[in-house]
Structure 1
Amino acid sequence: MIKIVLDSNIWDKLAQDEMAKSRVQSLCGAGELQVLMPDTLLQQLKASPFEGVPHWFPAELISDGVFVLGHSRLGFARLGDGTMFTAHRGASQQISDAVIVDVADTDADVFVSEDRRARNRYAKKIQTPGRALDYARFRQDILGL
């Protein structure tokens, strides 16, 4: 089973791609794919036009992998070591991005995002090809479309 974290911009792409949504649903139903939904990403989707997680396919709600004071909600984040969070955030103030990447690193096999900076920064830290994909590569490599 492949566990994935789909960045919020990927949900936007999926909204326009019936074939991909259907394929994700099929792979999830077959037990070949699991979509993880960390709390920070859930909060982003709640604040988006989706107003939450679309019901296109199952998504497992999980707590964030690191607790960040002033960002994390009590009971919805774990006390992780923060290594990936710190490395990904760097000098930027992109706390949400760093929390989502931390969860992808800790709990998932693949992080899918259209944010080139986030993908490249993550791929540099882990140095494992195929763990940080854009939408086109996700469709091709994971969904086989």
Structure 2
Amino acid sequence: MKNKNSEIRILANGVLDFGRENDLHQNVLDDIRLAFEEMFSNIVSYGFDDDREHEIVMDMELSADLLTMKIRDDGRPFNPTEYVNPDLEKPLDEREVGGLGIHLVRHVIDEWEYKSEQGKNILTMKKWIRKSVP
């Protein structure tokens, strides 16, 4: 996928197709779609210092009851797993802008890991899932 917000529609459709092919429960689909869309949006909005086109690679793999999602990009290094949650107790007008998407992702996935390798950011997110009940 390209580093353009317009690609989110393609991403959402890909997640839905993957979910249907693998009989994933709607709640799981909602969670992984949220995680992918939020992280993709952050990469597009904050990850690049130029106006060039960049490739963002997103993969999903289902093994037994574990769904593994990977996102790779060549943007500025950023480790979302170390990002400090926003203070949700503060009134809205006193909060810093940003960070809520990462906070939401943190709550819908079970594990995540970040590494920077050969100029690439690699974010791996894992979610224990259940299949749809017929």
TM-score past 0.5 threshold: no
Q: Give the TM-score category using the shorter length.
A: under 0.3
Q: Which has the higher strand share?
A: 2
Q: TM-score, normalised by structure 2?
A: 0.27
Structure of larger gyration radius: 2
Q: Which has the higher helix share?
A: 1
Q: TM-score, normalised by structure 1?
A: 0.26
